[in-house]
Amino acid sequence: MKLLHLCRASVLAALLLIPSFATAHHGWSWTTGGNIQLTGVIVETRLGFPHGTLVVDVDGERWTVEVGQPWRNERAGLKDGDLAPGVEIKVEGEPSADIEDRLLKVERLWLGKTKYELYPGRS
């Protein structure tokens, strides 16, 4: 019986810790707090959980840009295949505090003249 209680307590403790780890990684604390825009061509796409990432060629430099979770991208109006290699994209969002990382958390993006708001109201 003690083993069962110990197992339950361990599982509960792990479940309580998971949100804090997720928030630490997937929050905005690693960004500068200011926005920049980049325009380039998608060269790699990895969509899914916990969020999608694109590798975008911006004037010969490769940037990793984090887009939303699948539900957030869909809510913004993006469809399967929109974020594919070879597609030109303009993104706006918060870069990593270390600009050498070439990492950007996207708030909004444009495909052609169509704007997609991943985080409405965030500027």
How far apart, in whole angstroms, are the C-alpha atoms of residue 64 and residue 57? 9
- Per-residue pLDDT at 30: 62
* Mean pLDDT, residues 66-71 taken together: 92
Which one-letter amino acid corresponds to residue 93? G
- Per-residue pLDDT at 90: 98
- Per-residue pLDDT at 13: 45
Q: Please, are residues 90 and 37 in contact by the beta-carbon 8 Å criterion?
A: yes
How far apart, in whole angstroms, are the C-alpha atoms of residue 25 and residue 41? 26
pTM as predicted: 0.74
- Terminal alpha carbon distance of the chain: 54
* Mean pLDDT, residues 102-112 taken together: 95
Ordered structural domains, the chain, with CATH:
36-117 (2.40.50.1010)
Query: 5 or 33, which is more confident?
Result: 33
At 119, is the pLDDT very low, low, confident or very high (cuts 50, 70, 90)?
confident
Q: Please, are residues 64 and 98 in contact by the beta-carbon 8 Å criterion?
A: no
Given a cut of 80, is residue 95 above it in pLDDT?
yes
Token pair of 106 as six digits: 């996207």
Q: Is the dihedral of CA 19, 20, 24, 27 positive or negative?
A: positive
Query: 113 or 18, which is more confident?
Result: 113
How far apart, in whole angstroms, are the C-alpha atoms of residue 29 and residue 24? 8
Given a cut of 90, is residue 108 above it in pLDDT?
yes
Which one-letter amino acid corresponds to residue 103? L
